């Protein structure tokens, strides 16, 4: 059935069933937790929503009754003006904050912190309640945890709807949805007159692990975002063309960006993992089917190379992750580090002999940008989302072909990477993926959707990348 012919009832029925099912489960397991949570959230929403109105009434009462002096009036008016001018943004779609568990989490965390530094009031909605730790601040960013089920098929669905219902009554100027799955309740936000932005972090319905209902649900989120979001942001030219051709929707191209750092010597990782500069192949990302982690392990075991393989990513309890761990245990040259952040991660990037990204589908990989930015030699699966980023500064292999991957590993590990090429690569990333430029673009988007007449509409045209030098 064409999208335009679907009724609102057809949109809502499966989602409402899931929400009711979730609430019933909580009611049966812990009534006090649910009642306490709803009371806490409700009272906070009432008070925060009318804070500006209360302050305005106090100023008006002071003027009418003649109480207070000129300095008091000026101070109260200044406070009221600041409350009115600060743009309040809610972010929905990531799993946790602060976190580096995935590209969406890294991007949301960096964007939220940076916007706060620029004077925005940002609230991020995290998935899942924790005892005594459901409302907190980190680096000026307000974090609020929302109940959801841990079952993968319902996790994002329940969370995104409950987060949206909460955000409707907190006076946010913009509700910013991240990823297409959590964007289904964007339609409800629009019905309540809210300004909305959706950033598409990849066409997730293509991912191997999402099939059946989950895949159809993500396609529904994609259609809702394309039709109803005030501004639709994409990370790659491939997605820009996709939405234009399929939905006749001109999206806004804002590639992911990273903050740069100096190359680190091999100290911490030598002590912890026994690694030496240039003597290992590095993968950083989730251990999941769409990332092609199993392909990399199988391709590495077929390849003839003396370099070790280091897999950096959270080790969860999924069947796929357990299978990768079991296969890796049979090879002493494969190291699975689990979750790594901070200086050890920077050292891993700085000293790898080769960075590999074997993903089947992508949005715009932050780990790939981090590898390129430090001057690492890069090998990626030959999909547009990867090769558009690497351009002339990386090699490619056929996706899901472990034999071709093995040959590529042998070839890339055997060749030296010229220092001049490394420097050109670093300059290329600095030129095309500058963090402050990304922030400027998102500020344009926010002011555009709230109707700020002083801010020009963000360009929907694709920006050509700037190459630095020529390939050696």
Q: What is the DSSP string of 347-408?
A: HHHHH-SEEEE--SS-S--HHHHHHHHTT--EEEES-HHHHHHHTTS-EEE-TT-HHHHHHH
| pLDDT at residue 469, rounded to an integer | 45
Diameter over CA atoms, the chain: 86
Rounded mean pLDDT, 452-472: 49
Q: Is the pLDDT of residue 14 over 70?
A: no
Q: What is the DSSP string of 30-72?
A: -HHHHHHHHHHHHHHHHHHHTHHHHHHHHHHHHHHHT-S-HHH
Choose among 375, 439, 17, 414: nearest CA to 233: 439
DSSP bridge pairs for 312: 284, 338
Q: What is the pLDDT of residues 332-376, one digit of tens each?
A: 999 999 989 899 999 999 999 999 999 998 888 999 999 999 999
Q: What pLDDT band is residue 454 in, cutting at 50, 70 and 90?
A: very low
| pLDDT at residue 49, rounded to an integer | 44
Q: Which of 3-12, 28-37, 338-347 has the highest mean pLDDT?
A: 338-347
Token digits of residue 268: 């911490």
| pLDDT at residue 12, rounded to an integer | 40
Residue with more model confidence, 268 or 62 = 268
Q: What pLDDT band is residue 142 in, cutting at 50, 70 and 90?
A: very high
Within 10 angstroms of residue 427's Cβ, the number of other Cβ atoms is 14
- The answer to pTM > 0.75 is no
Q: What is the pLDDT of residues 169-198, one digit of tens each?
A: 998 999 999 999 999 999 999 999 999 999
Q: What pLDDT band is residue 63 in, cutting at 50, 70 and 90?
A: low
- Residue with structure tokens 């989302």? 385
Residue with more model confidence, 121 or 38 = 121
| pLDDT at residue 213, rounded to an integer | 76
Rounded mean pLDDT, 417-436: 92
| pLDDT at residue 23, rounded to an integer | 54
Return the C-alpha torsion angle 265, 266, 268, 272, nearest 10: 170
| pLDDT at residue 434, rounded to an integer | 87
Q: What is the pLDDT of residues 221-258, one digit of tens each?
A: 999 999 999 999 999 888 899 999 999 999 999 988 88
């Amino acid at each position: 059935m064409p999208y335009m012919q679907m009724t609102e009832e057809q949109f809502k029925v499966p989602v409402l069933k899931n929400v009711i099912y979730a609430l019933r489960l909580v009611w049966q397991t812990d009534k006090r937790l649910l009642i306490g949570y709803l009371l806490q959230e409700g009272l906070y929403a009432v008070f925060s929503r009318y804070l500006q109105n209360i302050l305005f009434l106090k100023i008006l009462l002071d003027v009418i009754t003649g109480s207070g002096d000129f300095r008091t009036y000026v101070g109260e008016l200044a406070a009221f003006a600041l409350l009115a001018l600060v743009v309040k943004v809610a972010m929905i779609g990531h799993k946790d904050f602060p976190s580096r568990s995935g590209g969406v989490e890294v991007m949301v965390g960096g964007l939220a912190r940076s916007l706060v530094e620029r004077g925005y009031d940002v609230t991020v909605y995290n998935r899942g309640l924790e005892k005594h730790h459901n409302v907190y601040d980190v680096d000026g960013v307000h974090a609020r945890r929302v109940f959801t089920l841990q079952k993968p098929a319902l996790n994002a669905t329940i969370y995104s709807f409950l987060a949206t219902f909460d955000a409707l009554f907190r006076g946010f100027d913009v509700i910013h949805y991240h990823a297409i799955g959590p964007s289904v309740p964007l339609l409800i936000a629009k019905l309540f007159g809210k300004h909305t932005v959706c950033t598409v972090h990849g066409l997730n319905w293509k991912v191997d692990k999402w099939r059946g209902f989950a895949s159809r649900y993500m396609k529904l989120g994609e259609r809702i975002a394309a039709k109803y979001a005030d501004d639709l942001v994409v990370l790659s030219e491939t997605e820009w063309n996709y939405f234009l051709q399929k939905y006749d929707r001109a999206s806004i191209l804002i590639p992911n960006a990273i903050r740069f750092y100096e190359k680190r010597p091999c100290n911490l990782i030598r002590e912890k993992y026994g690694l030496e500069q240039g003597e290992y192949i590095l993968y950083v990302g989730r251990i999941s089917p769409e990332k092609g982690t199993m392909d990399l392990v199988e391709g590495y075991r077929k390849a003839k190379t003396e370099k070790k393989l280091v897999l950096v990513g959270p080790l969860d309890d999924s069947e796929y992750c357990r299978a990768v761990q079991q296969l890796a245990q049979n090879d002493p040259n494969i190291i699975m580090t689990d979750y790594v952040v901070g200086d050890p991660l920077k050292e891993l990037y700085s000293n790898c002999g080769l960075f590999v990204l074997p993903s089947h589908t992508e949005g715009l990989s932050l780990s790939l940008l981090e590898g390129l930015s430090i001057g690492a030699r890069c090998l990626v699966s030959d999909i547009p989302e990867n090769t558009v980023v690497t351009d002339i500064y990386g090699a490619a292999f056929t996706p899901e072909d472990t034999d071709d991957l093995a040959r590529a590993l042998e070839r890339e590990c055997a060749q030296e990477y010229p220092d001049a090429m490394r420097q050109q690569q670093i300059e290329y990333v600095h030129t095309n993926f500058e963090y402050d430029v990304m922030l400027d673009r998102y500020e344009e988007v926010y002011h555009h959707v709230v109707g700020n007449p002083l801010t020009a509409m963000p360009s929907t045209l694709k920006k050509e990348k700037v190459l630095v030098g020529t390939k050696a």
